[in-house]
A = this chain, B = another copy of it.
Amino acid sequence: MTFEAVAVRAREAAHELALATRATKDAALHAMAGALVAATDDVLAANAGDVAAAREAGTSESLVDRLRLDAGRVAAMADGLREVAALPDPVGEVVRGSTLANGLELRQVRVPFGVVGIIYEARPNVTADAAGICLKSGNAVLLRGSSSARRSNEAVVGVLRDAAAGAGLPADVVQLVPGEGHESAKALMRARGLVDVLIPRGGAGLIRSVVEESTVPVIETGVGNCHVYVDRDADLDMALAIVLNAKTDRPSVCNAAESLLVHAAVADAFVPRVVRALQEAGVTVHGDATFAAQDGVLPATEDDHRTEYLSLDLSASVVPDLAAAVRHIRTYSSGHTEAIVTGSLDAARRFTAAVDSAAVVVNASTRFTDGGEFGFGAEIGISTQKLHARGPMGLPEMTSTKYVVTGDGHVR
Protein backbone atom coordinates (compact mmCIF):
# COMPACT_ATOMS: atom_id res chain seq x y z
CA MET A 1 0.00 0.00 0.00
CA THR A 2 1.26 3.53 -0.76
CA PHE A 3 1.76 6.05 2.01
CA GLU A 4 -1.13 8.13 0.64
CA ALA A 5 -3.50 5.16 0.79
CA VAL A 6 -2.47 4.47 4.38
CA ALA A 7 -2.92 8.13 5.33
CA VAL A 8 -6.37 8.31 3.73
CA ARG A 9 -7.42 5.20 5.65
CA ALA A 10 -6.14 6.84 8.83
CA ARG A 11 -8.22 9.93 8.11
CA GLU A 12 -11.38 7.86 7.58
CA ALA A 13 -10.69 5.91 10.77
CA ALA A 14 -10.07 9.18 12.62
CA HIS A 15 -13.49 10.51 11.61
CA GLU A 16 -15.10 7.45 13.19
CA LEU A 17 -12.81 7.38 16.24
CA ALA A 18 -13.52 11.05 16.99
CA LEU A 19 -17.18 10.14 17.54
CA ALA A 20 -16.50 7.02 19.65
CA THR A 21 -17.59 7.12 23.28
CA ARG A 22 -15.15 6.70 26.14
CA ALA A 23 -16.77 3.31 26.89
CA THR A 24 -15.93 2.04 23.38
CA LYS A 25 -12.37 3.36 23.51
CA ASP A 26 -11.70 1.90 26.96
CA ALA A 27 -13.13 -1.47 25.90
CA ALA A 28 -10.79 -1.42 22.90
CA LEU A 29 -7.79 -0.61 25.13
CA HIS A 30 -8.63 -3.52 27.44
CA ALA A 31 -9.12 -5.81 24.44
CA MET A 32 -5.72 -4.73 23.11
CA ALA A 33 -4.08 -5.41 26.47
CA GLY A 34 -5.61 -8.88 26.71
CA ALA A 35 -4.73 -9.70 23.12
CA LEU A 36 -1.10 -8.62 23.60
CA VAL A 37 -0.68 -10.91 26.59
CA ALA A 38 -2.39 -13.76 24.74
CA ALA A 39 -0.05 -13.22 21.77
CA THR A 40 3.11 -13.06 23.89
CA ASP A 41 4.69 -16.08 22.14
CA ASP A 42 4.13 -14.67 18.65
CA VAL A 43 5.41 -11.24 19.66
CA LEU A 44 8.52 -12.72 21.26
CA ALA A 45 9.17 -14.90 18.19
CA ALA A 46 9.01 -11.83 15.94
CA ASN A 47 11.22 -9.93 18.38
CA ALA A 48 13.76 -12.75 18.40
CA GLY A 49 14.07 -12.24 14.63
CA ASP A 50 14.83 -8.52 15.14
CA VAL A 51 17.33 -9.28 17.89
CA ALA A 52 19.13 -11.90 15.76
CA ALA A 53 19.30 -9.53 12.78
CA ALA A 54 20.61 -6.72 14.98
CA ARG A 55 23.31 -8.98 16.44
CA GLU A 56 24.27 -10.10 12.94
CA ALA A 57 24.56 -6.46 11.91
CA GLY A 58 26.96 -5.89 14.81
CA THR A 59 24.61 -3.67 16.82
CA SER A 60 25.88 -2.69 20.28
CA GLU A 61 24.61 -4.71 23.24
CA SER A 62 22.97 -1.63 24.80
CA LEU A 63 20.91 -1.09 21.62
CA VAL A 64 20.09 -4.79 21.43
CA ASP A 65 18.85 -4.57 25.01
CA ARG A 66 16.52 -1.71 24.09
CA LEU A 67 15.19 -3.82 21.24
CA ARG A 68 14.69 -7.00 23.24
CA LEU A 69 11.26 -7.97 24.56
CA ASP A 70 10.49 -10.66 27.13
CA ALA A 71 7.25 -11.80 28.72
CA GLY A 72 7.62 -9.17 31.43
CA ARG A 73 8.01 -6.34 28.92
CA VAL A 74 4.98 -7.53 26.95
CA ALA A 75 2.96 -7.65 30.16
CA ALA A 76 4.16 -4.11 30.97
CA MET A 77 2.93 -2.93 27.54
CA ALA A 78 -0.48 -4.44 28.33
CA ASP A 79 -0.51 -2.80 31.78
CA GLY A 80 0.28 0.53 30.13
CA LEU A 81 -2.78 0.18 27.88
CA ARG A 82 -4.99 -0.62 30.89
CA GLU A 83 -3.63 2.43 32.73
CA VAL A 84 -4.52 4.64 29.77
CA ALA A 85 -8.04 3.15 29.81
CA ALA A 86 -8.37 4.23 33.46
CA LEU A 87 -7.54 7.88 32.67
CA PRO A 88 -10.29 10.46 32.00
CA ASP A 89 -11.22 11.02 28.34
CA PRO A 90 -10.02 14.47 27.28
CA VAL A 91 -12.34 14.56 24.25
CA GLY A 92 -15.51 16.57 24.84
CA GLU A 93 -14.14 18.44 27.83
CA VAL A 94 -15.52 21.99 27.82
CA VAL A 95 -12.44 24.17 28.26
CA ARG A 96 -14.28 27.47 28.33
CA GLY A 97 -17.88 28.54 27.93
CA SER A 98 -20.06 31.59 28.24
CA THR A 99 -23.24 33.21 26.98
CA LEU A 100 -22.43 36.34 24.99
CA ALA A 101 -24.25 39.64 25.47
CA ASN A 102 -26.42 38.90 22.42
CA GLY A 103 -27.48 35.52 23.80
CA LEU A 104 -25.19 33.36 21.64
CA GLU A 105 -23.94 30.37 23.60
CA LEU A 106 -20.21 29.79 23.22
CA ARG A 107 -18.40 26.59 24.22
CA GLN A 108 -14.76 25.68 23.54
CA VAL A 109 -14.58 21.88 23.46
CA ARG A 110 -11.62 19.50 23.29
CA VAL A 111 -11.49 17.46 20.07
CA PRO A 112 -8.87 15.05 18.74
CA PHE A 113 -6.17 16.35 16.39
CA GLY A 114 -7.25 13.72 13.83
CA VAL A 115 -4.23 11.85 12.47
CA VAL A 116 -1.02 11.83 14.53
CA GLY A 117 2.33 10.63 13.19
CA ILE A 118 4.94 9.26 15.61
CA ILE A 119 8.56 8.73 14.52
CA TYR A 120 10.56 6.78 17.07
CA GLU A 121 13.61 4.63 17.61
CA ALA A 122 14.43 1.12 18.73
CA ARG A 123 12.18 0.33 21.73
CA PRO A 124 9.17 -1.68 20.47
CA ASN A 125 7.22 -0.92 23.66
CA VAL A 126 6.72 2.64 22.33
CA THR A 127 4.50 1.06 19.66
CA ALA A 128 1.86 0.02 22.19
CA ASP A 129 2.29 3.11 24.41
CA ALA A 130 1.83 5.55 21.54
CA ALA A 131 -1.07 3.61 20.06
CA GLY A 132 -2.87 3.56 23.42
CA ILE A 133 -2.42 7.28 24.12
CA CYS A 134 -3.50 8.22 20.58
CA LEU A 135 -6.55 5.94 20.69
CA LYS A 136 -7.73 7.28 24.05
CA SER A 137 -7.33 10.88 22.85
CA GLY A 138 -9.36 10.04 19.73
CA ASN A 139 -6.50 10.19 17.24
CA ALA A 140 -5.69 7.71 14.51
CA VAL A 141 -1.96 7.04 14.59
CA LEU A 142 0.65 6.42 11.90
CA LEU A 143 3.63 4.75 13.53
CA ARG A 144 7.07 4.90 11.98
CA GLY A 145 9.42 2.88 14.16
CA SER A 146 12.99 1.86 13.62
CA SER A 147 13.61 -0.65 10.83
CA SER A 148 15.63 -2.66 13.37
CA ALA A 149 12.33 -3.30 15.22
CA ARG A 150 10.24 -3.97 12.10
CA ARG A 151 9.24 -7.56 12.92
CA SER A 152 8.38 -6.71 16.52
CA ASN A 153 6.38 -3.62 15.52
CA GLU A 154 4.48 -5.54 12.84
CA ALA A 155 3.57 -8.25 15.33
CA VAL A 156 2.42 -5.76 17.99
CA VAL A 157 0.48 -3.59 15.54
CA GLY A 158 -1.20 -6.67 14.06
CA VAL A 159 -2.44 -7.67 17.52
CA LEU A 160 -3.61 -4.13 18.34
CA ARG A 161 -5.47 -3.72 15.03
CA ASP A 162 -7.33 -7.00 15.41
CA ALA A 163 -8.29 -6.13 18.98
CA ALA A 164 -9.51 -2.66 17.96
CA ALA A 165 -11.64 -4.16 15.20
CA GLY A 166 -13.00 -6.76 17.64
CA ALA A 167 -14.05 -3.93 19.94
CA GLY A 168 -15.98 -2.16 17.20
CA LEU A 169 -13.43 0.45 16.11
CA PRO A 170 -11.80 0.61 12.66
CA ALA A 171 -8.56 -1.40 12.59
CA ASP A 172 -6.99 1.57 10.77
CA VAL A 173 -6.90 3.64 13.96
CA VAL A 174 -3.43 2.04 14.31
CA GLN A 175 -1.18 1.65 11.27
CA LEU A 176 2.49 1.33 10.52
CA VAL A 177 3.91 3.66 7.87
CA PRO A 178 4.78 1.48 4.85
CA GLY A 179 8.34 1.22 3.57
CA GLU A 180 11.61 1.67 5.38
CA GLY A 181 14.46 4.06 5.96
CA HIS A 182 14.45 7.80 5.46
CA GLU A 183 11.91 7.65 2.60
CA SER A 184 9.14 6.42 4.90
CA ALA A 185 9.93 9.12 7.46
CA LYS A 186 10.00 11.71 4.70
CA ALA A 187 6.55 10.68 3.47
CA LEU A 188 5.22 11.40 6.97
CA MET A 189 7.06 14.71 7.24
CA ARG A 190 5.68 15.95 3.90
CA ALA A 191 2.09 14.84 4.53
CA ARG A 192 0.69 18.25 5.34
CA GLY A 193 -3.10 18.06 5.09
CA LEU A 194 -3.06 14.28 5.58
CA VAL A 195 -1.33 14.22 8.97
CA ASP A 196 -2.26 16.83 11.59
CA VAL A 197 0.66 16.58 14.01
CA LEU A 198 4.03 14.83 13.98
CA ILE A 199 5.81 13.83 17.19
CA PRO A 200 9.40 12.59 17.02
CA ARG A 201 10.52 10.52 20.00
CA GLY A 202 14.20 9.80 20.23
CA GLY A 203 17.63 11.36 20.22
CA ALA A 204 18.59 14.92 19.39
CA GLY A 205 19.60 14.03 15.81
CA LEU A 206 16.23 12.48 14.97
CA ILE A 207 14.33 15.39 16.46
CA ARG A 208 16.41 18.03 14.69
CA SER A 209 15.97 16.36 11.32
CA VAL A 210 12.19 16.11 11.76
CA VAL A 211 11.92 19.73 12.87
CA GLU A 212 13.89 20.88 9.85
CA GLU A 213 12.31 18.72 7.17
CA SER A 214 8.68 18.56 8.23
CA THR A 215 5.92 20.68 6.72
CA VAL A 216 3.48 18.94 9.09
CA PRO A 217 3.30 20.78 12.44
CA VAL A 218 5.79 19.16 14.84
CA ILE A 219 5.86 18.84 18.60
CA GLU A 220 9.51 18.76 19.60
CA THR A 221 10.22 16.46 22.51
CA GLY A 222 12.77 15.37 24.92
CA VAL A 223 16.20 16.92 24.45
CA GLY A 224 17.34 17.88 27.91
CA ASN A 225 20.52 19.76 28.78
CA CYS A 226 19.30 20.28 32.34
CA HIS A 227 21.08 22.46 34.90
CA VAL A 228 21.28 22.46 38.69
CA TYR A 229 22.27 25.82 40.19
CA VAL A 230 23.48 25.81 43.79
CA ASP A 231 22.82 29.27 45.17
CA ARG A 232 24.82 31.08 47.88
CA ASP A 233 21.92 30.48 50.27
CA ALA A 234 21.64 26.76 49.56
CA ASP A 235 21.55 24.08 52.22
CA LEU A 236 24.66 22.27 50.98
CA ASP A 237 23.54 18.84 52.20
CA MET A 238 20.32 19.27 50.26
CA ALA A 239 22.28 20.54 47.25
CA LEU A 240 24.56 17.50 47.34
CA ALA A 241 21.62 15.08 47.48
CA ILE A 242 19.84 16.85 44.61
CA VAL A 243 22.93 17.00 42.37
CA LEU A 244 23.67 13.31 42.93
CA ASN A 245 20.08 12.30 42.30
CA ALA A 246 19.68 14.50 39.23
CA LYS A 247 22.90 13.17 37.69
CA THR A 248 23.03 9.51 38.72
CA ASP A 249 19.48 8.24 39.31
CA ARG A 250 19.04 7.49 35.61
CA PRO A 251 21.68 9.23 33.50
CA SER A 252 20.30 8.13 30.11
CA VAL A 253 17.02 10.06 30.30
CA CYS A 254 16.22 13.61 29.27
CA ASN A 255 15.48 14.96 32.76
CA ALA A 256 18.89 13.94 34.13
CA ALA A 257 21.17 16.86 34.99
CA GLU A 258 24.03 17.57 32.59
CA SER A 259 25.43 20.80 34.06
CA LEU A 260 26.14 22.07 37.55
CA LEU A 261 26.49 25.76 38.43
CA VAL A 262 27.76 26.83 41.85
CA HIS A 263 27.61 30.33 43.37
CA ALA A 264 31.15 31.61 44.04
CA ALA A 265 30.34 32.32 47.70
CA VAL A 266 29.88 28.61 48.43
CA ALA A 267 32.47 27.24 45.99
CA ASP A 268 35.13 26.62 48.65
CA ALA A 269 32.72 24.69 50.83
CA PHE A 270 30.83 22.85 48.09
CA VAL A 271 33.11 22.17 45.11
CA PRO A 272 35.51 19.65 46.76
CA ARG A 273 32.61 17.89 48.47
CA VAL A 274 30.40 17.55 45.38
CA VAL A 275 33.32 16.47 43.17
CA ARG A 276 34.28 13.70 45.61
CA ALA A 277 30.70 12.47 45.94
CA LEU A 278 30.15 12.53 42.18
CA GLN A 279 33.39 10.67 41.54
CA GLU A 280 32.46 8.06 44.13
CA ALA A 281 29.22 7.58 42.19
CA GLY A 282 31.24 7.04 39.01
CA VAL A 283 30.66 10.47 37.46
CA THR A 284 33.31 12.19 35.32
CA VAL A 285 33.28 15.93 36.02
CA HIS A 286 34.17 18.37 33.20
CA GLY A 287 34.88 21.57 35.08
CA ASP A 288 35.94 25.20 34.79
CA ALA A 289 39.20 26.35 36.44
CA THR A 290 37.86 26.09 40.00
CA PHE A 291 36.49 22.61 39.47
CA ALA A 292 39.50 21.48 37.44
CA ALA A 293 41.71 22.25 40.45
CA GLN A 294 40.21 19.12 42.03
CA ASP A 295 41.84 15.77 41.35
CA GLY A 296 40.38 13.85 38.42
CA VAL A 297 38.30 16.72 37.01
CA LEU A 298 38.71 17.23 33.25
CA PRO A 299 38.82 20.76 31.86
CA ALA A 300 35.45 21.71 30.33
CA THR A 301 35.24 23.02 26.78
CA GLU A 302 32.48 25.14 25.25
CA ASP A 303 31.12 21.87 23.82
CA ASP A 304 30.77 20.40 27.30
CA HIS A 305 28.40 23.22 28.25
CA ARG A 306 26.19 22.40 25.27
CA THR A 307 26.25 18.62 25.50
CA GLU A 308 23.42 16.39 26.61
CA TYR A 309 25.75 13.59 27.76
CA LEU A 310 23.07 11.02 28.71
CA SER A 311 25.93 9.32 30.56
CA LEU A 312 27.80 9.62 33.86
CA ASP A 313 29.40 12.93 32.81
CA LEU A 314 28.65 16.40 34.13
CA SER A 315 29.89 19.84 33.19
CA ALA A 316 30.46 22.15 36.15
CA SER A 317 31.17 25.86 36.57
CA VAL A 318 31.38 28.46 39.30
CA VAL A 319 29.31 31.61 38.66
CA PRO A 320 29.66 34.97 40.41
CA ASP A 321 25.93 35.34 41.13
CA LEU A 322 22.39 34.26 40.28
CA ALA A 323 22.20 36.59 37.28
CA ALA A 324 25.27 34.89 35.80
CA ALA A 325 23.68 31.49 36.39
CA VAL A 326 20.59 32.67 34.49
CA ARG A 327 22.76 33.96 31.63
CA HIS A 328 24.65 30.66 31.47
CA ILE A 329 21.37 28.76 31.32
CA ARG A 330 19.95 31.06 28.62
CA THR A 331 23.07 30.47 26.56
CA TYR A 332 23.39 26.69 26.85
CA SER A 333 20.12 25.15 28.01
CA SER A 334 17.80 23.21 25.72
CA GLY A 335 14.85 24.59 27.69
CA HIS A 336 13.84 21.32 29.36
CA THR A 337 14.36 21.59 33.15
CA GLU A 338 16.55 23.76 35.38
CA ALA A 339 16.72 23.57 39.16
CA ILE A 340 17.86 26.00 41.83
CA VAL A 341 18.83 24.96 45.36
CA THR A 342 18.37 27.89 47.71
CA GLY A 343 16.92 28.89 51.04
CA SER A 344 16.28 32.41 49.83
CA LEU A 345 12.74 33.22 48.75
CA ASP A 346 14.04 36.16 46.74
CA ALA A 347 16.51 33.97 44.85
CA ALA A 348 13.81 31.36 44.17
CA ARG A 349 11.46 34.03 42.83
CA ARG A 350 14.10 35.62 40.65
CA PHE A 351 15.27 32.28 39.24
CA THR A 352 11.80 30.93 38.46
CA ALA A 353 10.80 34.22 36.83
CA ALA A 354 13.94 34.66 34.72
CA VAL A 355 14.62 31.09 33.60
CA ASP A 356 12.40 30.22 30.64
CA SER A 357 12.35 26.41 30.46
CA ALA A 358 9.54 23.89 30.31
CA ALA A 359 10.06 23.23 34.01
CA VAL A 360 11.82 25.33 36.65
CA VAL A 361 12.41 23.48 39.89
CA VAL A 362 13.15 24.84 43.37
CA ASN A 363 14.85 22.56 45.91
CA ALA A 364 14.10 19.30 44.12
CA SER A 365 15.73 17.08 41.52
CA THR A 366 15.34 17.73 37.78
CA ARG A 367 14.20 14.09 37.58
CA PHE A 368 10.66 15.09 38.59
CA THR A 369 9.85 16.54 35.15
CA ASP A 370 7.89 13.51 34.02
CA GLY A 371 4.26 12.81 33.16
CA GLY A 372 4.03 10.02 35.71
CA GLU A 373 5.56 12.15 38.50
CA PHE A 374 3.29 15.09 37.60
CA GLY A 375 0.26 12.82 37.96
CA PHE A 376 -0.68 12.84 34.27
CA GLY A 377 -0.76 9.03 34.22
CA ALA A 378 0.56 8.58 30.69
CA GLU A 379 2.99 10.63 28.69
CA ILE A 380 3.69 10.73 24.96
CA GLY A 381 6.86 12.76 25.55
CA ILE A 382 8.17 15.95 27.10
CA SER A 383 7.73 18.97 24.86
CA THR A 384 10.61 21.44 24.80
CA GLN A 385 8.88 23.82 22.41
CA LYS A 386 6.69 26.75 23.32
CA LEU A 387 3.82 26.18 20.90
CA HIS A 388 0.82 24.09 21.97
CA ALA A 389 2.29 22.09 24.84
CA ARG A 390 5.37 22.52 27.00
CA GLY A 391 6.70 19.97 29.46
CA PRO A 392 5.25 16.49 29.99
CA MET A 393 2.42 15.82 27.52
CA GLY A 394 -0.52 13.82 28.83
CA LEU A 395 -3.82 13.07 27.12
CA PRO A 396 -5.21 16.65 27.06
CA GLU A 397 -2.05 17.78 25.23
CA MET A 398 -2.95 15.28 22.48
CA THR A 399 -6.07 17.25 21.59
CA SER A 400 -7.07 20.45 19.84
CA THR A 401 -10.27 22.39 20.54
CA LYS A 402 -13.16 23.75 18.53
CA TYR A 403 -15.73 26.41 19.31
CA VAL A 404 -19.39 25.41 19.23
CA VAL A 405 -21.64 28.46 18.90
CA THR A 406 -25.42 28.14 19.29
CA GLY A 407 -28.00 30.80 18.53
CA ASP A 408 -31.59 31.14 17.42
CA GLY A 409 -31.19 32.99 14.17
CA HIS A 410 -28.46 35.45 15.19
CA VAL A 411 -27.08 37.67 12.43
CA ARG A 412 -24.69 40.63 12.53
Q: Are B245 and A365 in contact (CB under 8 A)?
A: no
Given contacts A390-B402, A408-B363, A409-B241, are A373 and B192 in contact (CB under 8 A)?
no
- Complex: chain B residue closest to A401, CB-CB: B390
Q: Are A18 and B98 in contact (CB under 8 A)?
A: no
B residues in contact with A111, CB < 8 Å = 356
Could you tell me which residues of chain A, from 89 to 146, have a CB within 8 Å of some CB in chain B? 98, 100-101, 104, 106, 108, 111, 113-114
Kindly provide the distance from the CB of A140 to the nearest chain B CB, expressed in whole angstroms: 13
Measured CA separation A346–B269 after assembly (Å): 72
Number of copies: 2
Stretch of A37-45, A47-55, A210-218 contacting B (4+ beta carbons < 8 Å): A210-218
Most buried by B among A249, A364, A385, A401: A364
B residues in contact with A353, CB < 8 Å = 18-19
Among B238, B242, B359, B402, the residue within 8 A (CB) of A359 is B402
Q: Are B412 and A365 in contact (CB under 8 A)?
A: yes
Q: Are B100 and A358 in contact (CB under 8 A)?
A: no
Determine whether A173 belongs to the interface, using a CB cutoff of 8 Å to chain B.
Answer: no
Q: Are B241 and A411 in contact (CB under 8 A)?
A: yes
B residues in contact with A219, CB < 8 Å = 387
Could you tell me which residues of chain A, from 203 to 251, have a CB within 8 Å of some CB in chain B? 211-212, 215, 217-219, 235, 238, 241-242, 244-246, 249
Determine whether A375 belongs to the interface, using a CB cutoff of 8 Å to chain B.
Answer: yes
Given contacts A197-B386, A219-B387, are A405 and B354 in contact (CB under 8 A)?
no
- Complex: chain B residue closest to A19, CB-CB: B353
Determine whether A252 belongs to the interface, using a CB cutoff of 8 Å to chain B.
Answer: no
- Sorting the interface of chain A by its residue count into under 10, 10 to 19, 20 to 34 or 35 or more gives 35 or more
B residues in contact with A373, CB < 8 Å = 100, 104, 412
Q: Are A400 and B386 in contact (CB under 8 A)?
A: yes
Determine whether A410 belongs to the interface, using a CB cutoff of 8 Å to chain B.
Answer: yes
A interface vs B, CB < 8 Å? 15, 18-19, 98, 100-101, 104, 106, 108, 111, 113-114, 192, 196-197, 211-212, 215, 217-219, 235, 238, 241-242, 244-246, 249, 330, 348, 352-354, 356-365, 367-369, 373-375, 385-388, 390-391, 400-412
Instruction: Name 30 A/B residue pairs within 8 A (Cβ), A-sorted.
Output: A15-B330, A100-B373, A100-B374, A101-B375, A104-B364, A104-B368, A114-B386, A196-B387, A241-B409, A241-B411, A242-B411, A244-B411, A352-B404, A358-B403, A359-B405, A360-B403, A361-B404, A362-B407, A363-B409, A364-B408, A365-B411, A367-B411, A368-B405, A368-B412, A374-B403, A387-B387, A387-B388, A387-B400, A391-B401, A391-B403
